[in-house]
Structure 1
Amino acid sequence: MTDMAKDSTGRGTPLGSGRPREGQLGDPATRGRTTIADGVVEKIAGLAARDVVGVHALGTGFARTLGAVRDRVPGSGRTATRGVKAEVGEVQTAIDIDIVVEYGVSIAEVARAVRENVIAGVERMTGLEVVEVNIAVGDVKLPDEEDDDPETRVQ
């Protein structure tokens, strides 16, 4: 005897035969898993942080110096993730950002704006919940200081 599955009318159909009826597998959007790499979130966060007025550069002094050397190597290209570190889970992410601010701006306001912009961008693009954005201000760019590397300037 063949095992039978009963549909809503009580009629039986052989199990495992043919194509599943509509509704048996659920919403197609839930069939499978999407994983997002840490680097993807880091790029999104880095670009969002660079958009904030008052942010001069991303990264610590050492990271910016090393990045400037790396950027001069043909074919290496600039990295949008400099100064950004993300830890990505299945549904949440946490982000750490190192910034250099322009002299004269309110660090608290710049940090608030960076945090808001990063959270909005990452959540919109990835669907991940951003649980925290930690911002470390490593330096202040004075008006009379020359840039270590003019290409690190974000504005």
Structure 2
Amino acid sequence: MAETTDRTSSNAGTSYRNETGEKGTTLKGRRGADTPPGLRGDTTVADKVVSTIAGMAAREIPEVHNLGGGMARAFGAVRERVPGGSGDITRGVGVEVGERQAAVDLDIVVEYGASILDTAGDVRANVIRAVESMTGLEVVEVNIAVHDVHLPDEAEESEQGGRRVA
């Protein structure tokens, strides 16, 4: 495991960059015969993992139509149409992962008619729950930027290969 290029040590965790340059954090386990087996050793969580969890958790909220700003969504739609291409689950998601904590930034598109305030609260709660339960990191903040409102007639035009790209 070649993760030595950007390593700073502490007794709680270690930030690292792996051989491909991806950032992440290593959660330090405990050692010794008196330690339960599930807590012995270290666990490494890449930033992309936190981004993926946050993106999936945000999309679980029914009022969230999509993630990403206008240009990111447009490029994503083109990428999905290319043979072999797929949608990027982390589009519209930014994370900062420290040794024990994480911060998440989300760019979302909300369905027309939904309460933006309630939707943001639901997204925030779901992202915090998912990231904390799956990684053990404390989520200190989830910042949400609403970039657009999805109108019902936009879905029909983009599904039919029309002029709009959602």
What TM-score does the superposition give when structure 2 sets the normalisation length? 0.70
Question: Does the 8 A contact of 1:65 with 1:148 survive in 2?
Answer: no
Unaligned 5+ segments in structure 1 are 1-22
Query: 1:42: which partner in 2?
Result: 51
Question: Does the 8 A contact of 1:41 with 1:86 survive in 2?
Answer: yes
If asked which structure has higher relative contact order (CA below 8 Å, sep 6+), I would say 1
1:14-29 map, 5 Å: 26-27=34-35, 28-29=37-38
**Aligned-CA RMSD value:** 2.2
Q: Which moved more, 1:139-148 or 1:87-96?
A: 139-148
Cα distance in 2 for partners of 1:24, 1:118 equals 34
Query: 1:56: which partner in 2?
Result: 65
User: How far is 1:149 from its partner?
Assistant: 5.0
Query: 1:73: which partner in 2?
Result: 82
Query: 1:94: which partner in 2?
Result: 103
What TM-score does the superposition give when structure 1 sets the normalisation length? 0.75
User: How far is 1:75 from its partner?
Assistant: 2.5
1:128 aligns with 2:137: yes
Cα gap change, 1:32/1:141 in structure 2, threshold over 3 Å: closer, same or farther? same
Cα gap change, 1:108/1:70 in structure 2, threshold over 3 Å: closer, same or farther? same
Unaligned 5+ segments in structure 2 are 1-30, 160-164
User: How far is 1:29 from its partner?
Assistant: 4.7
Question: Does the 8 A contact of 1:48 with 1:114 survive in 2?
Answer: yes
Q: One-letter code of the match for 2:143? A: N
Using the aligned pairs only, state the percent identity: 59
Cα gap change, 1:117/1:131 in structure 2, threshold over 3 Å: closer, same or farther? same
